[in-house]
Amino acid sequence: MLRTMRFPVFAIVVAALLAGCGPAPAPKTEVTGAGDDRETVAQLAALNAKAAALVQSGKSDAAAALITRGEGLANRLLAASRPSLEAMQAISDHDDLYGRMLLANRNYGWARLEFQKNRVRWKVWQPQTEETERRRRQAEAAIAECDRHIAE
């Protein structure tokens, strides 16, 4: 009797486990090279340029608003399974600008996080070029600057 009871319980447990296994998640969308990608890159690059100019003129609140608006564009570009180099450069510029604003506001840990994203981004980028190497070194220098301030 005990042996016949195990099989239905076992079958129910296995069926429940298999029912929890749904289809694989949908892959990220591929927008690299699409017109929408180029348009989003241009919008993010324009926001970055405006925000950088505002930072230079001492209008950090207005720059912060533009950086916040750029987050959605950066996330849209990062949704691609393989973003273009131009998209990654615009995202990198956005993260660098945000990190520099955080550094200026003495939010060293948060700034370091932004610079770390860029360091990893350019360390793993293929193919490596002089520009990707320059951007990686720039991020490492910014991380070192954050570390100096954190240690104070």
Q: What is the mean pLDDT of each run of 10 residues along the chain (152 residues)?
A: 54 56 52 72 97 92 94 95 94 97 94 97 96 98 97 88
Residue for token digits 């180099």? 85
- How many domains are contained in the chain? 1
Q: For residue 46, tell me if it sits in a domain.
A: yes
Domain span at residue 58? 36-151
Q: For residue 21, tell me if it sits in a domain.
A: no
Helix, strand or coil, per DSSP, at residue 74 = helix
Q: Could you tell me if residue 59 is left (phi over 0), alpha (psi between -120 and 50 degrees) or otherwise beta?
A: beta
Q: What is the pTM of this model?
A: 0.76
Q: For residue 139, tell me if it sits in a domain.
A: yes
Q: For residue 73, tell me if it sits in a domain.
A: yes
- Note the helical H segments in the chain: 2-20, 35-56, 60-78, 85-104, 108-124, 130-151
